[in-house]
Amino acid sequence: MNRTILAFITGLCAVLGAAAASPGVRWHNEAADTTRIAAILDRACSQRWANPSARTAAIAAEFVGTPYVAHTLEGEQEVLTVNLDQLDCTTLVDVTLALSYTAGENRRGWQDFLYNLRRLRYRGGETDGYASRLHYNCDWAVDNIHRGNISDVTPQLPKCTYMVRSIDFMTANADKYPAMADSATRARIKSVESGFRNHRFPYIKTIDLSNAAVKAALRPGDVLGFVSNLKNLDITHMGILVEKDGELYVLHASSTDGLVEVSARPLADFVRRNRQWIGIRVYRLRE
C-alpha cells in the first residue's frame, strides 16, 4: 500500500476516536455509556475521599433506580460487555469497582474504565472465551486478590469463622448455562471447579451481624458476598455497603424489586430475612 495512503488511513482512524476502534467490546448504548462513564469519573476525581471504600459507596449510589436485568453479559461470543442501563448484582459490583479503581488512578477516560473492568471481570485480566470470565465469587476473589485489585477483609473482622465447600454448581446444573453446551467450554469450567474442591473460605455468620464490634469494623463501600446455603456454591448475591442515618444498609440490584436499590432494612435484618443466606464475605478495593 502507498505510504501516503497508509498514513492518511492511520490519521483518519485517530480522528474517528477510540470509540470507533474498540475491538472486543459490546456496548448497550455506546454514546450514552461513554458520556456517562466520563461524567461519573469526572465527579469522582474532583473530590477528596477518606479512603477507596468511601469513593466506591458514592459511585454505587449513581446507579440507584437502574433496572435489574439478568444475563446481560451473555452472547454468541465472549466479549467485554458494557451496559449501564441494565444491571444485575454482579455487574453492579464490577462496574462500580472498575469506576472507583479508575478514579483512584485519577483517570477520567472511558477507555481507562474499560481496561479496569476487564481486569476485574476476567481471569488474569484477559478475555479468552466464556470460561475466562470469573463466574464464581470464590474464583473472582482468588484471582483479584492475587493481582492486588481487592482485599478480603473477612478474616480481620470479629466473629470470623470458616467453612469448607466443593464448588461445582455450574457443571452440576449445566442446562442452566447455554454456553456449557459446548464440551470444550464445559471442560474448562470443570477444570476451574477442580481448583475449588474442599475450598476453605472465611465468613461472618448471620447471627453475628448485629454484634457491635462487627458493625464497627465494617465501612461504607465494602463489597459483600452473601453466602449461600447450597452445598456446592459459595455466594449467590452481591451488594455494596452504604450508610444511612448512622446504620449500614445494602445497595444492591434486586431481582425481586426489579431495580438497583438500597435495602429497606439495615444489614443484619436484611440478611436475616433471607433464608437462602447464612452469612457474608467482605471485600475492599485496593489501590
Please, are residues 163 and 278 in contact by the beta-carbon 8 Å criterion? no
Checking if the pLDDT of 6 tops 70, the result is no
- CA–CA distance, 267 with 43 (Å, rounded to integer): 28
Query: Nearest to residue 87, comparing CAs of 252, 249, 234, 274?
Result: 252
Please, are residues 244 and 221 in contact by the beta-carbon 8 Å criterion? no
Domain ranges of the chain: 19-285
User: Can you give the pLDDT at residue 24?
Assistant: 87
Structurally, what CATH architecture does the domain formed by 19-285 represent? Orthogonal Bundle (1.10)
pLDDT band at 23 (very low <50, low <70, confident <90, very high): low
User: Can you give the pLDDT at residue 5?
Assistant: 44
- CA–CA distance, 233 with 192 (Å, rounded to integer): 13
Query: Lowest-pLDDT range, 23-27, 31-35, 183-187?
Result: 23-27
- Condensed to tens digits (0 to 9), the pLDDT of residues 234-282 reads 999 999 999 999 999 999 999 999 999 999 999 999 999 999 999 999 9
Query: Nearest to residue 62, comparing CAs of 281, 240, 280?
Result: 240
User: Can you give the pLDDT at residue 12?
Assistant: 39
Residue 286, all three cell numbers: 485496593
How much of the chain, in percent, has pLDDT values that exceed 90? 91
- CA–CA distance, 97 with 284 (Å, rounded to integer): 9
H helix intervals, 157-198 = 169-172, 183-194
pLDDT band at 208 (very low <50, low <70, confident <90, very high): very high
pLDDT band at 11 (very low <50, low <70, confident <90, very high): very low
> Would you call 125 helix, strand, or coil by DSSP?
helix
H helix intervals, the chain = 3-16, 30-45, 52-61, 89-104, 110-121, 137-146, 169-172, 183-194, 212-217, 267-272
- Condensed to tens digits (0 to 9), the pLDDT of residues 148-206 reads 999 999 999 999 999 999 999 999 999 999 999 999 999 999 999 999 999 999 999 99
User: Can you give the pLDDT at residue 7?
Assistant: 41
Give the predicted TM-score (pTM) of the model. Answer: 0.92
Please, are residues 137 and 196 in contact by the beta-carbon 8 Å criterion? no
The CA dihedral of 16, 91, 75, 70, to the nearest 10 degrees, is -130
Residue 160, all three cell numbers: 470470623
Please, are residues 52 and 284 in contact by the beta-carbon 8 Å criterion? yes
- Condensed to tens digits (0 to 9), the pLDDT of residues 61-114 reads 999 999 999 999 999 999 999 999 999 999 999 999 999 999 999 999 999 999
User: Is the alpha carbon torsion for 45, 133, 32, 60 positive or negative?
Assistant: negative
